[in-house]
Amino acid sequence: MTLTVGFIGLGVMGSPLAHRILASGLPLTVWNRTPDKTEPLRKAGAAVADSPAGLARTCDVIALCVTGRQAVTAVTLGPDGLHTAPGRGQLVVDHSSIPAETTRTVAGRLRAANGISWLDAPVSGGTPAAARGTLTVMAGGSRRDFDRAQGLLRAYARRTTLMGPLGAGQATKLCNQVIVAANAWGVAEAVALAEAAGIPPGRLPEALAGGFADTPLLHHYLPHLLDPHDDTLGTLTDLVKDLDTALAAARRAGTPLPLTAHLAELLRLANRWTRPRISGSFIGLLRGPGHPDPQDDPS
């Protein structure tokens, strides 16, 4: 039997994921809080639902990719949310980044309302990996639900790992974000040091190839630090949100995360002085005022 898929949340990550689903041949229905974002997918062959509940009535698996806990709660438990749809064994696969306790609360209330199951499945790899279909998915939930989701996930993920029960995927994503933040800031400081020393920072990947510093994040962030202009990769505001979530979870567990706390404040400060939607713009905090900004070039 062909898997019918619903997708809610057509932002910079959700839209390429939905297009990958269509390209895989799976029947797709979409819904978005901003209706005009559904139009390209409608033209590509997707059906458009009038509400999350309307989407759930026709789909076996429902993927979410929305901005945070409030959005997840709204589309799940709000007016015309998933909880108002008749339950017939559907599965929610949530790619949003939210606290693990929110995942467990929302999933529990949804299951109590109509029996719909939940898999928390945050992703890593950014929009380039979403477009290529090579995302990494870290999941929390039952083995049965994880296996059920594979027909959907293979449309856009290269690696999927079940990390444990509900909430384990979200906890793993926080670990991912701690590593990303530390490495991204480290690359920015290396670029600033290279510039100060008169070394062409664009040649760092060549010089460091094969060494311990030769990481995917070096290759990913360096071009954006040298020419900050791309706004398609997400926002540092979301990264700070995830670091704050990690710090809150660590405090509850009595686990110190001193570097993460410092990085959260550095990036929070950068977001006040640079453009958080532009990937790499946070290096402006290190360069200081007066450094040429590509966005200021009238040409």
Could you give the residue numbers annotated as active site? 173
Find the Cα–Cα–Cα–Cα dihedral 154, 128, 64, 177, rounded to 10°.
110
Q: How many CA atoms within 13 Å lie on the side-chain side of 41?
A: 30
Residue 226, token pair as written in the block:
């040298």
For the stretch 194-198, contacts whose Cβ atoms lie closer than 8 Å and that sit 24 or more positions apart, written own/partner, are 195/287
What does DSSP assign to residue 163?
A: E
- DSSP alpha helix (H) spans, the chain: 14-23, 39-44, 52-56, 69-77, 100-114, 126-132, 143-153, 168-197, 204-208, 216-226, 236-253, 258-273, 284-287
C-alpha torsion 127→70→143→7, nearest 10: -50
CB-CB contact of 76 with 110 (8 Å): yes
Burial class (CB in 10 A: 0-12, 13-18, 19+), 29: buried
Nearest Cα neighbor of 66 from 9, 126, 12 is 9
Neighbouring C-beta atoms of residue 63, cutoff 10 Å: 29
